[in-house]
């Protein structure tokens, strides 16, 4: 695989000749060599986000007990990112960052949005511009299938925030993949209508995406589409169809049963993604569709997830909770079999997709486009300081926050609100084994001060619904 570097110093987006991609009216100019341009129609965009997928939980990511041929093929047909991070080690905040291009705390979602006010830690601010709204302004038909997790009532429903079509689940997690309830409440919707479909949620989401693509292909106005496909899998409960579990056990007789069920749930999801990608091809849409695949956070170790050699997993601001498998494919525009070590965040996908589509980007977002890297062009480091944060309740967190800050090779973190800050050098210690806070007091002081300033910035934004009485 051809390597694409991305480690040169300097922040901000790269414009003009450095990008060599110009957007004129409704057309995307693609650079074949130098600045020679070929006029192309605006691409469709399929953004696939999966839930709690570990950094090492794909065959193409090194899982030798896993069979994920469709995601593997997608990665091989485009660019794989080896240094891509979720904004947060849990669901709602990363989704808020992804869909707004902003740090999640700055749009009011520092923690998980849940059914009961006493355990709710976010409320999406009304003035945040979401990706579907920006894409709609550029003439795209916008659709979402799957897990929303950014609000359970108006004005924070998918159709309120820019999606013309929604078919999926509003809540945080399903207590059962087959009856689709959470706390006994049915959160399945078709637009704003409550529905009660039969079947495994992964199968439903895959089929609904296939159905949407068929409708999009038949649309006479030739509008490109933006489809956000967000799976619940492989989030708990680990509830794969039993025939998929049997396949894994037959193939891997020595596998731990807990691990077998997670592998089966991921392989079942991969099969659904394969059906969606096959529909793109059958409809004649594949050649002009940018497909992006990522996860909202790292894998949950207690259910058998594999985060590779990284420390810890979901809920943690150690590397295993934040680093996620990510790839992008776009026939003829992204080089097949390429890799990039450019460090990027979930929120960087917002301006990337907007730039591809010629969509307006709100001023003041923290996200930075990675389109130059996708097109094989040199790109400066996206930012000097990288912030990660999470607010949570319960006795373990007590409504407080955990956070991390990256600056070059240095990483400062506090993985419990009741523990001291820790300092690591990821260049020499990628597994975060040796705390250097006492040996490097200057770095520790500088980064601690920067983190405090960012937390003060977050404090300007409310994160509870007005009048909720929490």
Which structural domains are found in the chain, ordered by start? 2-374 (3.40.720.10), 386-458 (3.30.1120.10)
CB 183 within 8 A of CB 176: no
The CA distance from 345 to 355, in Å, is: 16
Binned at pLDDT 50, 70 and 90, residue 330 comes out as: very high
Catalytically active residues, by annotation: 91, 149
pLDDT in tens, 206-220: 999 999 999 999 998
pLDDT of residue 466: 79
CB 57 within 8 A of CB 325: yes
Q: Which residues pair with 40 in a beta bridge?
A: 28
pLDDT of residue 9: 37
% of residues, the chain, pLDDT over 90: 89
The CA distance from 447 to 423, in Å, is: 9
pLDDT of residue 72: 98
Residues 378-394 have a mean pLDDT of 97
Binned at pLDDT 50, 70 and 90, residue 362 comes out as: confident
Q: Looking at per-residue confidence, does 128 or 363 come out higher?
A: 128
Q: Looking at per-residue confidence, does 35 or 67 come out higher?
A: 67
What is the residue whose two structure tokens read 């922040």?
11
pLDDT of residue 187: 98
pLDDT in tens, 132-183: 999 999 999 999 999 999 999 999 999 999 999 999 999 999 999 999 999 9
Statement: residue 347 has pLDDT above 90: yes
What is the residue whose two structure tokens read 């077998």?
260
DSSP letter for 394, please. H
Binned at pLDDT 50, 70 and 90, residue 40 comes out as: low
pLDDT in tens, 266-287: 999 999 999 999 999 999 999 9
pLDDT in tens, 103-125: 999 999 999 999 999 999 999 99
pLDDT of residue 3: 52
Residue spans of alpha helices (H) in 173-328: 201-218, 242-251, 257-282, 319-322
Q: Looking at per-residue confidence, does 8 or 118 come out higher?
A: 118
Residues 376-394 have a mean pLDDT of 97
Q: CB neighbours (10 Å) of residue 400?
A: 14
Q: What is the mean pLDDT of the chain?
A: 92
pLDDT of residue 468: 66
Element (H, E) at 11: none
Residues 62-79 have a mean pLDDT of 98
Statement: residue 96 has pLDDT above 80: yes
pLDDT of residue 41: 80
């Amino acid at each position: 695989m051809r390597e694409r570097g991305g480690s040169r110093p300097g922040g901000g987006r790269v414009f003009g000749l450095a990008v060599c991609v110009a957007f004129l009216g409704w057309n995307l100019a693609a650079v074949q060599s130098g600045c020679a341009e070929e006029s192309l129609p605006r691409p469709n965009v399929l953004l696939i986000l999966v839930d709690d997928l570990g950094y090492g939980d794909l065959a193409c990511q090194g899982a030798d007990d896993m069979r994920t041929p469709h995601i593997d093929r997608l990665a091989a047909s485009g660019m794989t990112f080896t240094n891509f991070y979720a904004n947060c080690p849990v669901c709602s905040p990363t989704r808020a960052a992804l869909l707004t291009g902003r740090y999640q705390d700055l749009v009011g979602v520092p923690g998980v949005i849940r059914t009961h006010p006493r355990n709710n830690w976010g409320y999406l601010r009304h003035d945040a511009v979401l990706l579907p709204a920006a894409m709609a302004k550029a003439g795209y038909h916008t659709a979402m299938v799957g897990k929303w997790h950014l609000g359970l009532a108006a004005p924070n429903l998918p159709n309120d925030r820019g999606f013309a079509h929604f078919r999926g689940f509003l809540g945080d997690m399903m207590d059962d993949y087959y009856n689709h309830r959470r706390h006994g409440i049915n959160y399945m919707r078709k637009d704003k209508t409550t529905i009660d479909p039969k079947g495994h949620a992964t199968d439903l989401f895959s089929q609904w995406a296939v159905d949407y693509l068929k409708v999009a292909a038949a649309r006479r106005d030739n509008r490109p589409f933006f489809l956000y496909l967000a799976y619940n899998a492989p989030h708990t409960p680990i509830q794969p169809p039993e025939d998929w579990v049997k396949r894994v056990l037959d193939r891997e007789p020595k596998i731990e049963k807990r691990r077998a069920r997670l592998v089966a749930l991921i392989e079942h999801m991969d099969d659904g993604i394969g059906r969606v990608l096959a529909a793109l091809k059958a409809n004649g849409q594949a050649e002009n569709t940018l497909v992006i695949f990522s996860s909202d956070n790292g894998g949950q170790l207690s259910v058998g997830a594999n985060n590779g050699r990284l420390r810890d997993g979901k809920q943690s601001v150690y590397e295993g909770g934040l680093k996620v498998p990510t790839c992008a494919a776009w026939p003829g525009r992204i080089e097949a079999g390429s890799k990039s070590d450019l460090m990027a965040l979930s929120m960087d996908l917002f301006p990337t997709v907007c730039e591809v589509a010629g969509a307006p980007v709100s001023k003041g977002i923290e996200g930075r486009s990675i389109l130059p890297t996708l097109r094989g062009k040199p790109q400066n480091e996206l930012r000097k300081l990288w912030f990660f944060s999470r607010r949570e309740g319960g006795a373990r967190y007590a409504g407080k926050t955990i956070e991390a800050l990256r600056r070059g090779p240095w990483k400062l973190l506090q993985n419990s609100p009741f523990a001291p800050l820790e300092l690591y050098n990821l260049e020499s210690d990628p597994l975060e084994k040796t705390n250097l806070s006492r040996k490097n007091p200057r770095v520790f002081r500088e980064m601690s001060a920067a983190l405090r300033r960012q937390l003060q910035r977050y404090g300007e934004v409310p994160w509870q619904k007005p009048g909720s009485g929490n």
